Chain A
C-alpha cells in the first residue's frame, strides 16, 4: 500500500508495473494532470512527443510489433482521441497489442457535449479488443492491469482506456496486482486432443502437404516450432505478408510469400497440394483470391488461437484452436517423419518461371530508370539482411515484401489488413525506439510519406535514426497500376505533384540523398546505412512500374499475370 497519490500518478505507476518503458503521446486539456505528473516519472519512462496523434498510435504499433509487448499511447480527449482511431482499427485488424489512454472530460460533464468531449468508448467499441472508461481513481490499477493482460494475450489487439479528468486528479491508495485471469476470457485455449489426433492422421497420409503461415507464428514466438515441424514432415511452406521473417529467406523448405502479389510457386502449389496446413493466418481475400477457387482439391487443417477464425472463410477438415507454438510442437511430436522430395522439388519449375519473367527484369534490368525491387534488394544486400524493414502501403509495400530478405524474425512491419497509408513513417519510429541497435529501414511512396510527413519533426527532436527510403514515382503508384490494368488506363487523380524533399529534409535537419540513376544506388545505400543517424533516401524510380506477378481481383490463386499482357502458364 502506497501513500495517497493522485490518479495520474497511479496511472504512471501502473504503466511501470507493466514494464512499459516508452509512451508515444501528445498532450491537451483533458489529459494535463497526467502530463503534469509525468515530470516525476521521466527518468523511468520515455515519452516521445509526436506531431499528430495518428503518429503516436502507429509508432506504438511499430514498437509493439518489433518488441512483442504492448505499445502505449497517451492522448487528450475529443480530437486527440478521434485522431488515433485509424491506428486503433489498424491494430485490431493486424492483431497488434497497444494500450491507448485517452483523456476525458470530468464525469459530471459526460453526455453534456462539453468542450472536447467525444464518446470514445462508443466510438472505439467495435475496433478494440476491450475498452473501459475509468471514472474513479480506485479503478485505475485494475483497469490498466486488465488492459495489458487483454491486449497482449490470446490474439493480441488494441485496448482503449478513457480516463476521466476527475479520476486523474482524485486521490487513491495505490496497490498493484497484475491481472492473470478473467473468467469470461480464455486467451490460451487448450487444443482438442481429438483434433490433434485427426490432424496427425491427415499429416501422416499426405503425399503433397503444404503449409501456409501468418503472423500467428510471430505472435506466438513459434518460429522454432515451425521449423521443427516443417523439417520433420519435410513440408514446404509459404508465408502471408504479415508472416514474413518468421522463417529466414534461405530456410530450405521456405517457398516465399503467398497472395495477390506473392510468389508464383506457393500460390500455384496451394491449388495442387493434397493437404493444406494453415497456421496463424486468417485466409484474407488478398491471400486466397476468389474463395471458390481456393485449394478446392485439398484437405485443410486450420490452426488458430482465435476460435472465430476457424471456419469463417474456409471450412477446415480439422480445426485446432490453440497457440501456434504449442499446437505445432505437439503435432511434430506425434506425426511420422515425412519425405516429400519430389513434391518439394516440383516448386522449382514455378520459381524458375518467376525468376525469368519477373524477378530478373525487376532486380537486374539492363537499362532504364531504377526499379523499386532493385532498391529493396540493395538494402537487403548492403545491410546483410540485418535491417528491420518497415513499409507504408502501396507498391512500395509490395516490393518491400517481395524483395526483402531476412535473417531474424520480427523484421517486417507493415499495415496488412487495413492497408493504412501513412502508417510507415511513424511505425518506423516506433520500431527504431523498440530496437535501437538494429537498422530500421522504411520503404514508403511519395503519396504515403505525405500522409504523416510531420513525423520528421519527431525524428528531428528525438534523434531517431530511421532510414527513410522514398520510392518516388510521382504517382499514387498502386492505384495507378490498377487504373492501367483494370480501368482502361484512365488515370483519375493519381498523378501527384511532389514537394522538394531535399528542402523538407533540410528543414528538419535530416541527411538527404537523392538517387536518380542505377549507378548511384549502391553508394547511396551504403552511405545511408553507414551510420546510425536519420536519413532520407529519395530514389526516383520508374514512374509507371508495376508490381508483378499479380492475381487479378476475382481470379483464383493460380490465375496469375506475369505482366500486364502475359499470363502464367505451366
Chain B
C-alpha cells in the first residue's frame, strides 16, 4: 500500500459562487477528510485562494487535484507535503481573567508559545496564537488548568517556498495566448 501523508492543497480560483461546494465534494466523494479549509484573497487582484489540508496517498491526492483543476473556474491547483511550504494556523483561547491572574508566569508562558493577549477585561481574557497545530494544542493543554471558556482554531493557510505565487507564470503565459487569439 502507498503511504498516507498529510497534504496541503492550494487552489487558485476566479471568484465564482458555488465553487467551494464543488471543490469540497471532490474530497468527500473520494472519502478524503478535509482537516481544514480556508478561503480568501491572493496577491493578485480578483484571484482567490483556497487552502485545504487532508491525509491521502500521493496517487489519490494527485487525482483529486486534477479533478479540482478540471473545474472551469479553477485556475490552478497544487499539492504539497509540509516540507515544501510555510504554513500557519491561528487559534483564539478565552479564559476567565481572575483565574488567569493566578498564573505565576503568564508572560513566560505566552512568550514560550509566541502567543499574545488581544483582549482583556475583568471577566475574560482572549489569547491569540499563530503557528503550527501541534503547538496550538500544546498551549491548549497548558491553559486548561485555568479553565478554558472558549477555544477556536482556524484552518491552515500556507505559502510556498517558491519565489512567486505559483500561478504567476501560468497567468502570464495565458495572457500571451489570449493576446494571440485576438
Contact = CB atoms under 8 A, between A and B. Distances in A.
A150 B73 CA distance: 11
Nearest to B29: A126
Say what secondary structure dominates the interface of chain A: mixed
Interface string A130-161: 11010000000000000000100000000000
A185 B72 contact: yes
Nearest to A180: B181
B174 A129 contact: no
Interface in B1-43: 13-14, 17-18, 21-22, 25
Contact of A184 (B25, B72, B177): B72
Contact of B63 (A126, A180, A308): A308
A182 B72 contact: yes
Contacts of A130: 72-73
A254 to B, nearest CB: 32
B178 A129 contact: no
Interface string B56-68: 0001001100110
Nearest to B65: A308
Given A125-B22, A181-B177, A150 B66 contact: no
Contact of A311 (B21, B63, B74, B76): B63
Nearest to B62: A311
A121 B16 CA distance: 12
A307 B70 contact: yes
A121 B18 contact: yes
Nearest to B179: A181
Contacts of A565: none
Contacts of B115: none
Interface string A283-306: 000000000000000000000001
B69 interface: yes
Interface string B159-182: 000000000000100110110010
Contacts of A308: 63, 66-67, 69-70
B66 A181 contact: no
A194 interface: no
B112 to A, nearest CB: 45
Given A130-B72, A181-B178, A122 B14 contact: no
Nearest to A185: B72
A122 to B, nearest CB: 7
B75 interface: yes
B75 A183 contact: yes
Contacts of B14: 184
A150 B175 CA distance: 19
Given A181-B177, A184-B73, A307-B66, A126 B171 contact: no
Given A307-B69, A308-B67, A184 B21 contact: no
Given A129-B72, A308-B63, A183 B171 contact: yes
Contacts of B13: 184
Contacts of A122: 18, 21
Contacts of B70: 306-308
Given A130-B72, A311-B63, A183 B175 contact: yes
A163 to B, nearest CB: 16
B18 A131 contact: yes
Contacts of A311: 59, 62-63
A131 B73 CA distance: 10
Given A182-B72, A184-B73, A311-B63, A126 B22 contact: yes
Interface of B: 13-14, 17-18, 21-22, 25, 59, 62-63, 66-67, 69-70, 72-76, 171, 174-175, 177-178, 181
* A-B interface, 3 closest residue pairs, ranked by CB to CB distance from nearest: A308-B66, A184-B75, A183-B174
